[in-house]
Amino acid sequence: MGAGSAGCIVARRLADTGASVILVEAGAARLERSRIIRKPGMISIMHSVPQVKKRFDWGYYTVPQEHAAGRRIPVTRGKLLGGSSAINGMLFVRGHRRNYDDWAAAGCTGWSYDDILPSYKRMEDWEDGASAVRGAGGPVAVTRTPRLTPASHALVDAFAEALDTPRNDDYNGVEQTGMGTVQMSARGGVRYSASHAYLGADRPPRLRIRSAAMVTRVVLEGGRATGVEITDGSRRQVLRAGREVVLSAGVVGSAQLLLLSGIGPAEQLRGLGIDVAADLPVGRNLHDHLFVPMTFLAPSAQHRGTAGHFFTGMLAETLRGGSWLGQTVFEAMGFVRTAGADTPADQPDLQLHALPWSYPSPNQDAPVRHSVDKRPALTVMPTLIYPKSRGELRLASADPAVAPLIDPGYLSDPADARFLIEGMKLVREAMAHKRLEEVVTGELHPGRALADDADLARELPQRVHSVYHPVGTCRMGGYDDADAVVDPELKVRGVEGLRVADAAVMPSITGGNTNAPAMLIGERCAELMTRQG
What domains does the chain contain, in order, with CATH numbers? 1-43+55-139+186-288+388-410+467-533 (3.50.50.60), 146-181+290-384+412-463 (3.30.410.40)
Does the annotation mark 289 as catalytic? no
Per-residue pLDDT of the chain (533 residues; tens, 9 = 90+): 788 999 999 999 999 999 999 999 999 878 777 888 999 999 988 888 899 899 999 999 999 999 999 999 999 999 999 999 999 999 999 999 999 999 999 999 999 999 999 999 999 999 999 999 999 999 999 999 999 999 999 999 999 999 999 999 999 999 999 999 999 999 999 999 999 999 987 889 999 999 999 999 999 999 999 999 999 888 999 999 989 999 999 999 999 999 999 999 999 999 999 999 999 999 999 999 999 999 999 999 999 988 888 888 888 888 788 888 899 999 999 999 999 989 999 999 999 999 999 999 999 999 998 989 999 999 999 999 999 999 999 999 999 999 999 999 999 999 999 999 999 999 999 999 999 999 999 999 999 999 999 999 999 999 999 999 999 999 999 999 999 999 999 999 999 999 999 999 999 999 999 999 999 999 999 999 998 75
pLDDT of residue 48: 87
Beta bridge mates, 491: 499
Amino acid at site 320: R
Residues 199/209, Cβ–Cβ less than 8 Å? yes
- Per the residue annotation, which of 67, 303, 445, 469 is the catalytic one? 469
Provide the pLDDT for residue 533: 58
- pTM for the full predicted model: 0.96
How many Cβ atoms are within 10 Å of 516's Cβ, its own excluded? 24
CB 60 within 8 A of CB 256: no
Reported as a single tens digit per residue, the pLDDT across 101-155 is 999 999 999 999 999 999 999 999 999 999 999 999 999 999 999 999 999 999 9
Q: Which pLDDT belongs to residue 46?
A: 87
Q: Residue 226: what pLDDT?
A: 97
| Confidence at residue 174, expressed as pLDDT on a 0 to 100 scale | 96
Q: How confident is the model at residue 34, as a pLDDT?
A: 85
- 206 burial level (CB within 10 Å; 0-12, 13-18, 19+): middle
- Tell me the one-letter amino acid at 34: S
Taking the chain, what is the end-to-end CA distance rounded to the nearest angstrom? 20
pLDDT at res. 201: 75
d(CA 15, CA 298): 50
Is-contact 333 318, C-beta < 8 A? no
pLDDT, position 234: 81
| Cis check: omega of the bond before 446, within 30 degrees of 0 | yes
Confirm if 263 and 287 have CB atoms less than 8 A apart: no
Is 230 within 8 Å of 237 (Cβ atoms)? Answer: yes
Q: What digits encode the pLDDT tens for the residues 387-444? A: 999 999 999 999 999 999 999 999 999 999 999 999 999 999 999 999 999 999 999 9
Distance of CA 16 to the CA centre of its chain: 26
